Amino acid sequence: MPLVQNSSYRPPFGFHSGHLQTIYPSLFRKLALITDRRERISTPDGDFLDLDWADKPTSKKLAILTHGLEGSSRRTYIQGMAQALTRSGWNVLAWNFRGCSGEANHRLESYHSGSIGELKTVIAHAASSDRYEQIALIGFSLGGNITLKLLGDPEHPIHPKVKGAVTFSVSTNLASSAKHLERLDNRIYMRRFLKTLRGKVREKVQRFPGVIRHEGLDQMRTFREFDDAYTAPIHGFVDAEDYWQQSSSGPHLDNITIPTLLVNAKNDPFLTSDCYPTQSANGHPHLHLEIPESGGHIGFIEFNRENTYWSERRAVNFLKAQMP
């Protein structure tokens, strides 16, 4: 499809700033826990994944939600989307990356921006039930990159029950975003990410003595430093640049074969011009690219009685049109 022209999103008065749109929901939006049934499944390599469900016994449709870097299934943006979907008759499965569910994972390896294997495991587990006839994938930020990479990877055919996908605030070029987040005005986000990542490294050092080291960990200030030292070597990449190149979803977008919506706001503080793949989307038979003027990073704030954000309404409406 051609590019989505004239996005319908308009920020509330006073919320035009990308930084405000990004920060406000995590601090002030309050939601009930929608995905309140937890299930633990095993991975092929002997680890585990924690899945949180919201079940509607009469529905044949399932949405699988994938969170962002250092997030979890309990983040507000996940629960907000789960709320909108369940109100529209969907079952919801919100899964946690390894080490993000409140308990450390078993293996030295954790998760990274190209971890499509874990999403494949979750899809296969859900699809094994005869209950679901249609599955949609919804990914946010890093989870959006994983979703798009899986959908466009010719070496990993998508499960036939997966009929549509929606992604928000996705860095389709990881190298450019990693460097962009080094800017002074983005340091608040970098510090937050590195704080929790450092904690996980320290825990791994205790459990795997001599395998990884923590010298210099506290002095790291960028994703390049962290990914060079930990993410890349632990997960089989040469260095940070090799990791970013191999894990970015951008080169795979042309191969997407199911209806897919990618929404990246122009004022997203995490993204650069390389993360708005207009050339890939223009004329693509399946990829819909929408670029609102505002929205921040996983923001898209709206104020209404239902406590529903624009991104949640947009996802539900897109899936309804593509998966009636």
Annotated active-site residue 153? The verdict is: no
Closest among 272, 281, 292, 275 to 253, alpha carbons compared: 281
Closest among 43, 126, 196 to 136, alpha carbons compared: 126
Closest among 182, 185, 187, 177 to 275, alpha carbons compared: 177
Task: Specify whether the CB–CB gap between 82 and 34 falls below 8 A.
Answer: yes
Annotated active-site residue 297? The verdict is: yes
* pLDDT attached to residue 57: 85
- Give per-residue pLDDT as tens, 156-202: 889 999 999 999 999 999 999 999 999 999 999 999 999 999 999 99
The rounded distance, in Å, linking the Cα atoms of 37 and 53 is 5
Q: What is the mean pLDDT of residues 246-268?
A: 98
Assign 255 a pLDDT band (cuts: 50, 70, 90): very high
The domain segmentation of the chain, as residue ranges, is: 18-173+253-322, 174-247
* pLDDT attached to residue 156: 82
- Give per-residue pLDDT as tens, 81-110: 999 999 999 999 999 999 999 999 999 999
Assign 37 a pLDDT band (cuts: 50, 70, 90): very high
Residue 154 has pLDDT above 90, yes or no: no
Q: Which of 141, 169, 176, 247 is catalytic?
A: 141
Residue 324 has pLDDT above 90, yes or no: no
* pLDDT attached to residue 295: 98
* pLDDT attached to residue 56: 85
Assign 1 a pLDDT band (cuts: 50, 70, 90): low
- Give per-residue pLDDT as tens, 216-242: 999 999 999 999 999 999 999 999 999
Residue 2 has pLDDT above 70, yes or no: no
Task: Specify whether the CB–CB gap between 82 and 54 falls below 8 A.
Answer: yes
Q: What percent of the chain has pLDDT over 90?
A: 94
Q: Which of 227, 248, 268, 288 is catalytic?
A: 268
CB atoms within 10 A of CB 55: 15
Q: What is the mean pLDDT of residues 254-262?
A: 97
CATH number of 18-173+253-322: 3.40.50.1820
Q: What proportions of the chain, in percent to the nearest 5, are helix, strand and coil? A: 40, 15, 45
- Give per-residue pLDDT as tens, 267-313: 999 999 999 999 999 999 999 999 999 999 999 999 999 999 999 99
Annotated active-site residue 141? The verdict is: yes
The token pair at 37 is 């049934």
The rounded distance, in Å, linking the Cα atoms of 279 and 2 is 10
